[in-house]
Amino acid sequence: MCASNRKVPLRSISTDVDSGEVPVTASVDRLVSTASARTGKHGWLSRLRSYFILDPLIWLYTLAFGLVSIPASFFGDRERMLHRFARGWSWMIMQTIFSPVTVTGLDHIASSRPHVYAVNHASALDIPVLYVYLPFQFRIAFKKELLSYPIVGWHLKRSGQIGVDQQNPAGSIGSIRSALKSLKGGMPLVIFPEGGRTPDGELKPFLPGAFFLAIKAGVDIVPVALLGTYELLPMNTYHIKCRPLEMRVGQPIPTAGLSGHDMQALSDKVHKAVAALYHAPRSPASPLS
């Protein structure tokens, strides 16, 4: 099921980050940032650059890497090989869109241990950011509708990613079992617990079921906030507005001793952690300041 696109009313906004609500200053900064992204320097020249240079290059990378990766995956370690292709594809995209990424907090994570990385989802370009800046192999939980796309669907299916049918969860049992086995075997998993991209740049409620695998595998959940990707490329447009980005990684949240009855409380806790990262004041050195 998809999460509802519920906005936080202005009167409910608090200045207390620990309360789990949106700080006023961060909210105002984000509104100003979003408004400026739609005007001024991102006018017609930006649109022409995006429509006639950036977008065609990304489609070319997708076609080239996709067509080469499928036959290449028949040799050696298929899933490792396809992860490398996905990372190469992502690196080319990030180099093309002139959007440097500042990463904070990742050095505190023991990457040798499997974790579930819970990431806010604001843009189609979230995927290249994660592939480039998470320096290890991982799997992604994705909506099964993506399997219908040529090349992308082929890659997802052959690379061992986790397809979830949000309309018929029972139909995803095989994928869930595979993901659980993979997690227990040491393979990290990336999830987008909002259930889809945000339509307005604000963090949506999390789906409690997204944390089922973390509880069953007994692995910690790492909150991750991507900043600037909504302004870079929101839904329903091909206009890429080149800008600096941030990836903020929080402290792991343990799941040891939890059961299915704790999914809602765990979901709320992770949501609060991601929101705190997402709305935290930007340091003067931040490229988004």
- pLDDT for residue 74: 86
Contacts of 228 (CB under 8 A, 6+ apart): 99, 243, 244, 245, 246, 288
- State mean pLDDT over 155-176: 78
| Kind of pairing between the strands at 245-249 and 221-227 | antiparallel
- Cα of 264 vs its chain's centroid, Å: 21
What is d(CA 79, CA 77) in angstroms, rounded to the nearest whole number?
6
More confident position, 207 or 154: 207
Contacts of 277 (CB under 8 A, 6+ apart): 105, 223, 224, 225, 248, 249, 250
Looking at the predicted structure, is the pLDDT value of residue 47 above 60? Answer: yes
Tell me the chain's radius of gyration from C-alpha atoms: 19
Contacts of 120 (CB under 8 A, 6+ apart): 192, 194, 198, 203, 224, 225, 226, 274, 278
Find residue 101's DSSP bridge partners.
245
- pLDDT for residue 5: 44
- State mean pLDDT over 13-25: 41
Three-state DSSP state, 80: helix
End-to-end CA distance of the chain: 36
Report the mean per-residue pLDDT for the chain: 85
Question: What count of other Cβ atoms lies within 10 Å of the Cβ of residue 135?
Answer: 9
What is d(CA 245, CA 120) in angstroms, rounded to the nearest whole number?
14
- Contact indicator for 164, 192 with CB cutoff of 8 Å: no
What is d(CA 177, CA 167) in angstroms, rounded to the nearest whole number?
18
Nearest Cα residue to 99 out of 200, 199, 231, 190: 231
- State mean pLDDT over 240-265: 97
Find residue 104's DSSP bridge partners.
248
What is d(CA 169, CA 101) in angstroms, rounded to the nearest whole number?
35
What is d(CA 216, CA 194) in angstroms, rounded to the nearest whole number?
20
Residues 212-221: pLDDT tens digits? 999 999 999 9
Structure tokens at 153: 């669907």
What percent of the chain stands above pLDDT 90? 63
- State mean pLDDT over 263-277: 98
